Structure 1
Amino acid sequence: MDTLVFLGTGDAMGVPRVYCSCETCMEARSSGDNARLRSSVLIDNGSDFWVIDCGPDWRRQMELQGRRSMRRLLVTHPHFDHIGGLPEWADSCRWMGYRGELYAPAEVIPVIQRQYPWLGGHIDMIPCDGGLELDGWQVRTWRVNHGKNGYSYAYRLEKDGYAWVYCPDSISLGPEETKHMHGADLLVLGTSFYYESAELSTRSVYDMTEAAELLDIVEPVRAVYTHMSHDVDMRKDYILPGNVTLAVTGLKLQLGHGKG
C-alpha cells in the first residue's frame, strides 16, 4: 500500500514569516509546532516515489526525508511556492545523470518554461490533461478557481478502488469544479485561514469555515487541511468537522483500504 507524506503544509509565505512577531510565528521559531514549509506531498510505493509540487523549500524537504534523488513530479500551477524549487531539482538531475519527468497541464508548461528557460536541458515536461498513470494510480486533473490569483489545478487519483483528491489552492468552487471530488476516500484541501475576514474578491484560498461547507457537498470519507498561513495556530482547538485533520510536516497516511 502506498504512503502519502506531507513534506510541507504552509501557504505561499510559510511559517514563520520573517517580518512577523505574532504568537504563531514566535512559537514556530521556538518549539516549532507551527513551523510550516511550503505545501507539497510525496507518494511512496515502498521502492520509489513521486511528488506533487516543488516549491522553494524542496531541498530542505528532501533532506528531512533522507531523499537524495527525485525523478518524477506533478505540478498544480506555476506560482513560486509550487515551482520555486525546480532549478535545484534540475541541478540534481544533472548531477545524478538522468532526466526528470515533470507532469503538468499543457497551459502550465509554457509558464514554467518562460520562468526557467534552462530546465528543458535536464527535465522533460509532459502534458497530463488527458490523464496519466503513475505507479498504478490513474490520475485526472482539472482547472479550479484560485480567486484573485487566477487558476490552479486539482488532481484525483484512483487505484485498487481507493480515490483521493489533492487541491491545495482553490476557492468558491462551483459544481463543475467539484464534480471529481465527490465521494473521495481522502480530500487534501488548502485552507489558509480558519476564518478570513478580507473581501472575497481579494482572496485566493478557502478558509476552514468555508471548507466545511464544501465537505458537506462533496462528502469525502476523510479530509486533511494544508496550505495554512500563520493565522492557524496548531495549539488552538478549532471547531472542525469530525473527519478533518490539520496536516503537519511529516504526517503519513496510508492510501488504501487496508489497515493502518
Structure 2
Amino acid sequence: MMKIIFRGTGDAMGVPRVYCECEVCTEARTSGVNRRYRSLVQLEDADIGTMMIDCGPDWRTQMESAGLHFVNRILVTHAHFDHIGGLPEWADACRWLGVKGEAYASEEVIAEIMQRFPWLDRNIRFIAIDTPCDFGSWRVSTWKVNHGKNGYAYAFRFDHQESGEAWAYCSDSIGLTEEQQKPLYGLDLLVLGTSFYIENFAYETRSVYDVTEALVLLPIWKPKRTLFTHMSHDIDLRRTYPLPDYAEFTYTGLEVSVGK
C-alpha cells in the first residue's frame, strides 16, 4: 500500500502571494486554512520507503513539517522553478551526509535541470525514466503533457503489479491530446492540477486546466477518485464548491492511500 501525503498544493506563486491582499491570501496569513506551498507529494511505501514528486523552493519547509531530515529519491515532473527550486538544497544535504540522491525524470527534463544547475550531478544521480521503471511492487511510467503557454511537463502513472490498482499525478497540464489522455483512463486515483475554479483569461495565455474544465473531462476518464492540487489564490477552501462526490480539493497534510 502506498500512502500519498500532500506537502504542497499551491501553484507557482504559492498562497499567500507575497504581493496580494485578496481575501484568500489575507486568510492564509492568519488562520492559514488556505496557506499553500508549491506542489509536492511525499510517497510512503513499505517496499520502497520514502520518495517525493518534485522539489520546489518550499522543499526545506516541507521537509521540516514532515519531520524528515533526508529523502533519497525524488521524481521530477518538469524543470520549472516551482518544481525544481529546492534541488540545490537537496544536493547540499546529500553532500553533507555523504549520500548521493537519486532524481528520476525524462531525459529532456534532466537536460534542462543540468543547464540551470550544472553542478548538481556531483551529489545527485539523475536517472532517465522515459521507459517504465519498477519501484517495489509499483511500475512507474511517465509521459509528456501539454502545459499551455509554459511548454510541456510530464505526468506520472503508478500501477501496482499485484493488485492492479493505478493512480496518476498530473500537476501541470491543459489541452491534453487524445494520446496524452489515455494513461488517465480508469484510475483508482487521479491527482490533477487546477489553478482556478474558472480561469477568465484568454486560453492561449493559460497553462493549467481550471476546475470546470476538469469536471467535463472526469466523466470521460472515469477515475474512481480525483484530488485537485496546484491551486492558486482563486480557490478558497472555506467555501463549498459544486463538485461531484468523487472529486475534492487537497490541502496541506492530506493523506490518502492506494494499493493493497
Tell me if TM exceeds 0.5. yes
Cα distance in structure 1, aligned partners of 2:157 and 2:68: 25
The answer to whether residue 28 in structure 2 is matched with residue 28 in structure 1 is yes
Gaps of 5+ in 2: none
Cα distance in structure 1, aligned partners of 2:93 and 2:122: 12
Q: Give the match's secondary structure for 1:144.
A: strand
C-alpha offsets along residues 170-215 of structure 1, whole Å, 9 cap, x if unaligned? 0011210110110000000000000001000000000000000111
Report the counterpart of residue 101 of structure 1 in structure 2.
Answer: 102
Q: Report deviation, 1:58.
A: 0.3
Alignment of structure 1 residues 38-187 onto 2, 5 Å = 38-46=38-46, 48-159=49-160, 160-187=163-190
Give structure 1 regions of 4+ aligned residues with deviation exceeding 2 angstroms: none
C-alpha offsets along residues 25-62 of structure 1, whole Å, 9 cap, x if unaligned? 00000000000000010111147210000000000000
Q: Report deviation, 1:104.
A: 0.3
- Select which of 234, 243, 247 maps to 2:250: 247
Q: Report deviation, 1:135.
A: 2.7
Q: Report deviation, 1:256.
A: 1.9
Q: Give the match's secondary structure for 2:108.
A: coil
- The one-letter amino acid of 2:16's match is P
Report the counterpart of residue 215 of structure 1 in structure 2.
Answer: 218
Q: How many residues align?
A: 257
- The one-letter amino acid of 1:3's match is K
C-alpha offsets along residues 195-251 of structure 1, whole Å, 9 cap, x if unaligned? 001000000000000000111111000000000000001111111122011000110
Cα distance in structure 2, aligned partners of 1:157 and 1:27: 35
Q: Report deviation, 1:136.
A: 2.1
Q: Give the match's secondary structure for 2:180.
A: helix
Cα distance in structure 2, aligned partners of 1:116 and 1:135: 30
Cα distance in structure 1, aligned partners of 2:179 and 2:128: 22
Q: Bigger shift: 186-195 or 237-246? A: 237-246
C-alpha offsets along residues 108-139 of structure 1, whole Å, 9 cap, x if unaligned? 11100011111010000010001111232100
Q: What is the TM-score with the length of structure 2 in the denominator?
A: 0.97
C-alpha offsets along residues 138-180 of structure 1, whole Å, 9 cap, x if unaligned? 0011000000000001111011311000000000112101101
Cα distance in structure 2, aligned partners of 1:184 and 1:163: 5
Cα distance in structure 1, aligned partners of 2:125 and 2:212: 40
Q: Give the match's secondary structure for 1:221.
A: coil
Cα distance in structure 2, aligned partners of 1:52 and 1:146: 17
- The one-letter amino acid of 1:182's match is Y
Gaps of 5+ in 1: none
Cα distance in structure 1, aligned partners of 2:107 and 2:156: 14
- The one-letter amino acid of 1:234's match is L
Report the counterpart of residue 11 of structure 2 in structure 1.
Answer: 11
Q: Give the match's secondary structure for 2:107.
A: coil
Report the counterpart of residue 195 of structure 2 in structure 1.
Answer: 192
Q: Give the match's secondary structure for 2:12.
A: coil
Q: Give the match's secondary structure for 2:253.
A: coil
